[in-house]
Amino acid sequence: MDLARLIEIYLEHLQARKLAANSLRAYRRDLESVAGELVELTGSTADRLPVERVDASVLRSAFARFAAARSASSVTRAWSTWNGFFGFLVVEGAVPGNPMQVIPKPRNAPSTPKPLQGEDTPERLLRMVASGARRARNPWPERDLAVLATLLCTGVRSAELLDLTVGSLAGRDGDRRLHVHGKGGKNRSIPIEDALDVLIQNYLRSRRERFGERMPGGEPLFVDHRGERLQRGGLQYLVRQSLRAAGVSDRVQPGAMVHALRHTFATRLAEDGANAAEIAKLLGHSSINSSQTYIDVTAREQRMSVRANRTLNVLGELSGG
């Protein structure tokens, strides 16, 4: 069978496992990018390239070309995607063995947290945005503040934030939680403290005033100035411009930006007493090893871990509580 058809079959298999849309897009991107290198190397087209021709030799060359302009982490992710793909093909009887086992896999240097630098940076950022410091053609400080506060006080990934719906915010006043569809299709529930809840409700009220429409549970939680789901580029721009307006853009470490807010959340939890297991649960890490870089402290209950986050202190002030 040709490679292109097998890729589609594998993606259908992954979709049946209810993976997040963002994860499926990443799988497709990795499969199609390396497939493009294979097509060039073999002088064929994807829909006319028999999988039998994709042996260890041509795969090694394809990955060498793929890796030339990409980071080690990107190559490692693609390697894992193709390893899973061929593992699936072996189980399905489409190929006799997995050639990825002899393809070199790059070694990633251990990543270190990159929180916002400066003791008062998160508080300064939130205060300045709340005051309208971010200049825009169509200013919406309630939305900007809610987005930044959610990132800083829940630690959600940017893709998770963009996937949130109005219905993701659940529970009674005083016991609100954010239901997050996380990486690898794993769901988690994050406690939302009252101060953050008030900011989100203020934003939703301003949204109704802007667009005059009902917001059923399936509607995106965060939207752009047209009322459409906030996209990745829009989120990055919002964070970048907010940091600049607050005068703290120089406190973001290289390669961080939006992810710096997640790292700030985790670092502050660790400083204020959360243990590795609780941080892993809140961040959606599959293993506490990923959270170990943040902490060396004693355990606390999950909600107490969130409540201890000092960034929450400024939210009460900004929400009038």
Span 264-287, average pLDDT: 79
Q: Angle between the 194-211 and 141-154 helix axes, to the nearest 10 degrees?
A: 150
Residue 159, token pair as written in the block: 């893709």
Span 225-233, average pLDDT: 93
The residue that leads in pLDDT, 275 or 48, is 48
Span 70-88, average pLDDT: 90
Span 221-232, average pLDDT: 94
- Residues taking part in catalysis: 157, 183, 259, 262, 285, 294
Query: What is the topology classification, in CATH, of domain 120-320?
Result: hpI Integrase; Chain A (1.10.443)
Per the DSSP assignment, residues forming a β-bridge with 223 are 229
Q: By mean pLDDT, which of 11-15, 201-205, 255-259 is the weakest? A: 255-259
Q: Quick one: what percent of the chain has pLDDT higher than 90?
A: 50
What pLDDT is attached to residue 220? 95
d(CA 49, CA 22): 27
Cα–Cα–Cα angle for 291, 188, 146, rounded to 5 degrees: 90
Q: Quick one: what percent of the chain has pLDDT higher than 70?
A: 89
The residue that leads in pLDDT, 230 or 69, is 230
Indicate if the pLDDT at residue 292 is higher than 70.
no
CB atoms within 10 A of CB 11: 17
What pLDDT is attached to residue 221? 96
3-class state of residue 228 by DSSP:
coil
Please state, rounded to an integer, the average pLDDT across all residues of the chain: 85
Domain range annotation of the chain: 3-92, 120-320
Residue 158, token pair as written in the block: 């940017």
Give the tens place of pLDDT for each residue, 21-37: 778 888 999 999 999 99
Phi and psi angles of residue 181, each rounded to the nearest 5 degrees, phi first: -90, 105
pLDDT band for 110, please (50, 70, 90 cuts).
low
Indicate if the pLDDT at residue 296 is higher than 50.
no
Span 234-252, average pLDDT: 93
Give the tens place of pLDDT for each residue, 90-101: 999 999 999 998
Indicate if the pLDDT at residue 249 is higher than 60.
yes
